[in-house]
Amino acid sequence: MSVDNSLSLSSKSISVGAISVPLPIYNPRKAELWFARLESFFVANKITNQSTKFSYANSLLPDDVIEQVPDVIFKPDPDSPFDCLKREVIRVTSLTDQQTIDQLLANVELGDNTPSQLKRHMTNLLGNRTVDKRLLYQLWLRRLPQNIRQILAIGDEDVDFDRLADIANRIYERSKTHLVSQIQSSSADEIAELR
């Protein structure tokens, strides 16, 4: 981030603070988020003209995305070229409902994440789609370690999902600490036996 503190107006010079906001790098899996960040760039740089926004977006989008929207590129809408490009890119790059369900059912795992991070990831995958809260809760619960599942399964499904994720985080942190101490003590025992 660079700062420019001077602006020259004819023969007078005045000082202003200006921050250079970098252009976002396109993420093919998160087109909506990228466009939101690009629009923040436009606001920060006082870019309001649809054609200028269109030119920026067109130059920043990768070829494989541009190739999916040739009509919008070759014949931009005369009134709102940027808005049309944005809408079309999001449409062609977004996951279908079936792909989203497949990812939720097969490809989502806790891994190194906390339970609340897993919940957030699953919610982000859904985007604007509406899914029954209890179904999402059950899918999330199945991906948690067994000790956490056993504790949370006793609770009421109607309890606030965010609150359950916080509880799961606390259980996860405590069980992780307990597991590390078990590994350390068993390693110490094994070393003692070797001596």
3-state secondary structure string across 105-155: HHHCCCCCCCHHHHHHHHHHHHCCCCCCHHHHHHHHHHCCCHHHHHHHHHC
Residue 3 belongs to a domain: no
Q: Are residues 108 and 171 in the same domain?
A: yes
pTM listed for this prediction: 0.53
The predicted-structure confidence for 31-71, as pLDDT tens digits, reads as follows 888 999 999 999 999 999 999 999 999 999 999 999 999 99
113 and 187 together in one domain: yes
Same domain? For 78 and 156 the reply is no
Write down the mean pLDDT value for the chain: 78
Same domain, 116 and 168: yes
Residue 177 confidence (pLDDT) = 61
For residue 14, the SS3 value is strand
Tell me the residue range of the domain where 35 lies: 25-93
- Torsion region of 46: left, alpha or beta (phi above 0 gives left; psi -120 to 50 gives alpha): left
Q: Is 55 domain-assigned?
A: yes
Give the helix/strand (H/E) hosting 6: strand 3-9
Predicted confidence (pLDDT) at residue 23 exceeds the cutoff of 50: yes
**Helix, strand, or coil (residue 22):** coil
Tell whether 15 is covered by a domain. Answer: no
Say which residue the tokens 């606390």 belong to: 170
From 49, 77, 93, the end of a domain falls on 93
Tell which of 93, 109, 127 closes a domain: 93
Same-domain status, 134 and 187: yes
Q: How many CB atoms lie within 10 A of CB 35?
A: 20
Same domain, 149 and 89: no
Q: Which of 66, 93, 120 is the last residue of a domain?
A: 93
> Which one is predicted more confidently, 99 or 8?
99
Q: Are residues 182 and 112 in the same domain?
A: yes
Closest CA to 143 of 122, 161, 123: 122
Are residues 106 and 88 both part of a single domain?
A: no
- On whether both 56 and 76 belong to a single domain, the answer is yes
Give the total number of structural domains in the chain: 2
Which whole number is the average pLDDT over 82-108?
A: 80
Q: How many whole angstroms separate alpha carbon 28 and alpha carbon 33?
A: 10
Assigned domain for 127 exists: yes
